[in-house]
Chain A
Amino acid sequence: MSTQFEIRGLRSSIEGKEILKGIDLKIQGGEIHALMGPNGTGKSTLASALMGHPKYEVSEGEVSLNGEDVLEMGVDERARAGLFLAMQYPSEITGVTNADFLRTAINARREEGQEISLIKFVRQMESKMKELEMNPEFMHRYLNEGFSGGEKKRNEILQMLMLEPKIVVLDEIDSGLDIDALKIVAAGVNAMRSEERGFLIITHYQRLLNYVKPDFVHVMMQGRIVKSGGPELAERLEAEGYDWVKEELGIVDETVGQA
């Protein structure tokens, strides 16, 4: 059965301020959805709330992945159920090498006694790093420590390739990437396209969508999805900006929860 991911009426707040005001979105395996919108409209909040970041409180709504209640799960359980978030600002962790971290993450998905062998793991990691044109040294570097912005983004994609999630949320994976890195990241995403896997790509710009063709494009404003369409919507947004959407919907200030 192909993956079914559904968000219904999701409301979420941070420090008492409501940011998400009822999100409805259905993603099926094989589909790529792009979530676009100006800064401060709640896109990253949606990503964080889905993953279960402790700062974001969910007050209403449901999220299900293949019939399982995601909101009932802890952060690590969500990940093991198949949810993956490529973060906008990944943490740096001293003393934990990239390889140790990824091997621990892979083994967390396996039964005790069924752990991946070191040699198999290393081969797999080496080959995925090669695909992403990453320096093999990064395998033994401390997790994200001293990585440039672009290197961190590639490292997020590396994790996606290694962990083979069912639902992938990419939170502004394209920001801070030069065009070559963008193409490599896009190739990584395209290589992962399959009937079993759905994508939600959060971005400001059309740029990435030139390389990863979305099936659906959604526009977010004021903590809601205010408009949905096909790839042509992203192209129009790139050409004309967001003002026409605001005008059409009678929105003056598109942001949400800003002081």
Chain B
Amino acid sequence: MSTPTTSFGREAAAALARSKNEPAWLVDWREEAGELASKLELPKPEKMPLQRWTLDQYGTHRPGTTVGSAADLPAAITELLPAEELGALIVQHNSSVVFTRLSNDLKAKGVILTSLDEAVRTHEKLVRDHLMTAYKKDEHKLAAVHAALWNGGVFLYVPRNVDIEFPVQALMFADDAEATFMPHILIVADSNSRVSFVEQAATLLEGGAATLLHNSSVEVFAKAGAHVRYAAVHHMDRVVVDVAYRRAILENDARMEWIVGDLHDGNTLTDTKSILKGNGSTSDSKIISVGTGGQRMSLTTQAVHIGKSSESNMVTRAVMKDEATAIINGITKIEHGATKANGQQTEKVLMLSPKARGDANPILLIDEDDVMAGHAASVGQVNAEQLHYLMSRGISRQEAERLIIHGFLDPVVSEIPLAGLREQLHRILERKLG
């Protein structure tokens, strides 16, 4: 194999950065990350040892072909893009961004949408002030590897008071198992701005046993009064390991909504966290997942309350089939001084097979008296009373089960802000639940 697995570290990171002609500050930054990558340990998610996962596949730099018009994108990519949607769009193909579309109207308002690769040159200050400050490169080995190797990526800046009406769409796509595929999505929403962002991660890998590591990250900075809605649908092939660390930092009165479909077919490690720094900030996270085959998943949602009167709500719903395993963690942390904070969380798992496993672990860590916090967790099978009720109206058992299972996930599916992607999500669910 040509992949520099064991030798990866300080030198390799710097050499790659130089070969891509990255600015000097970033070469140094990558070098430091490479150093950390060779020293730090893997993260230790609850009850999910990662030692057996193939996480040392770093791949090689395989940029896609840049195109000037969406019509020139490869068919495999256009098939994934909802046809009728015409908003802003950015597409990554393997190791690089190949297409960006932003209306002149939004450009005139000062909106920036580029690959992160480009933004490190064109918007150095904005990038340096934010990049990997919410998800730090020394958190653990995977963070350091991501910092050293992230490629393509998205940089979205929404200026003060600007309201982007139509969702901004990003498609992260790979069809080369030997490519380094590590997008970083960085969103800075300035004061009182509004934006919906929709991310899709997909692959088309023909057969083969090669593992592709999608070591990705999302960072959202919602400044005072900004509202950001981030929807993500991940549906990659079984041979892909999906790592997604999602972080949002919220200033005063900012609002963050996470709507996530972790519907990947292979092993999955996701961690979706809102840091409610500002007073009166609010966060709402909704995650769905379907476990199939022998896949293993660690799905974590987190809310950290620092600001007074901050509110968070986290819901995770997972359907588990076959021999799949999901460990679902909800962590609500309320720091001292975050008076009148309110943190709520729910984890629900629907078990469809006796060999599947689904653990729900609600965790409340509270260092302040004057707060509200609550959690609910349940793991169960299709409710017999519900089934009976539907059947008593003439609906067959099979159809009744289908309605209940899809219904279980609908509170999240129905929130996806793009009609076309919602349809796609239904198709993915039909396939996975089939």
**Contact mask B14-50 → A, CB, 8 Å, 1/0?**
0000000000000000000000000000000000000
Q: Which of B384, B399, B411 lies in contact with A94, CB distance below 8 A?
A: B411
Chain B contacts for A176, CB-based, 8 A: none
Minimal beta-carbon separation of A82 from chain B (angstroms): 10
Q: Is A51's beta carbon under 8 Å from chain B? A: yes
Q: Is A96's beta carbon under 8 Å from chain B? A: yes
Q: Which of A91, A100, A101, A109 lies in contact with B385, CB distance below 8 A?
A: A91
Beta-carbon contact of A95 and B407 below 8 Å: yes
Within 8 A of A (CB), among B358-414: 383-386, 388-397, 399-400, 403-404, 406-411
Q: Is A53's beta carbon under 8 Å from chain B? A: yes
Beta-carbon contact of B409 and A95 below 8 Å: yes
Beta-carbon contact of B392 and A85 below 8 Å: yes
Beta-carbon contact of A76 and B407 below 8 Å: no
Q: Which of A53, A80, A100 lies in contact with B394, CB distance below 8 A?
A: A80
A75-B388, A90-B389 as given contacts; A105 in contact with B394, CB under 8 Å: yes
Chain A interfacial residues counted at CB < 8 A: 28
Beta-carbon contact of A101 and B388 below 8 Å: no
Q: Which of A75, A93, A109 lies in contact with B403, CB distance below 8 A?
A: A93
Chain B contacts for A93, CB-based, 8 A: 386, 389-390, 403-404, 407
Q: Which of A54, A78, A96, A109 lies in contact with B404, CB distance below 8 A?
A: A96
A91-B385, A93-B386, A108-B399 as given contacts; A75 in contact with B407, CB under 8 Å: no
* Interchain pairs with CB closer than 8 A, number: 79
Closest to A86 in B: B392
Size class of the B contact interface (CB-based, 8 Å): 20 to 34
Chain B contacts for A229, CB-based, 8 A: none
Beta-carbon contact of A79 and B394 below 8 Å: yes
Chain B contacts for A94, CB-based, 8 A: 407-408, 410-411
Q: Is A121's beta carbon under 8 Å from chain B? A: no
A53-B388, A75-B388 as given contacts; A142 in contact with B407, CB under 8 Å: yes
Beta-carbon contact of B407 and A91 below 8 Å: no
Complex Cα distance, B339 from A210, in Å, reads 58
Beta-carbon contact of B384 and A76 below 8 Å: no
Main secondary structure of the interface of B (DSSP, over half): helix
Q: Is A7's beta carbon under 8 Å from chain B? A: no
Q: Is A23's beta carbon under 8 Å from chain B? A: no
**Contact mask A132-167 → B, CB, 8 Å, 1/0?**
000000000010000000000000000100010000
Chain B contacts for A96, CB-based, 8 A: 390, 403-404, 406-407, 410
Complex Cα distance, B396 from A227, in Å, reads 38
**Contact mask A103-123 → B, CB, 8 Å, 1/0?**
011001100000000000000
Minimal beta-carbon separation of B391 from chain A (angstroms): 4
Q: Is A241's beta carbon under 8 Å from chain B? A: no
Beta-carbon contact of B392 and A101 below 8 Å: no
Beta-carbon contact of B411 and A105 below 8 Å: no
Complex Cα distance, B409 from A52, in Å, reads 29
Complex Cα distance, B410 from A78, in Å, reads 29
Chain A contacts for B410, CB-based, 8 A: 94-96, 142
Closest to A96 in B: B407
Chain A contacts for B397, CB-based, 8 A: 74, 76
Minimal beta-carbon separation of B419 from chain A (angstroms): 16
Chain A contacts for B399, CB-based, 8 A: 104, 108
* Sample of 18 further A-B pairs with CB below 8 A, known A80-B394, A93-B403, A96-B404: A52-B392, A74-B397, A75-B391, A76-B395, A78-B392, A79-B393, A79-B395, A87-B392, A90-B389, A94-B408, A95-B406, A96-B403, A102-B393, A104-B403, A105-B393, A108-B395, A108-B396, A163-B393
Q: List 11 A-B contacts (CB under 8 A).
A: A52-B392, A54-B388, A76-B400, A79-B393, A93-B390, A94-B410, A95-B406, A101-B390, A104-B399, A105-B395, A142-B407
A: residues with CB less than 8 A from B are 51-54, 74-76, 78-80, 85, 87, 90-91, 93-96, 100-102, 104-105, 108-109, 142, 159, 163
In the complex, the 6 A-B pairs of residues with the closest C-beta atoms, listed nearest first: A95-B407, A95-B410, A79-B394, A91-B389, A96-B407, A105-B393
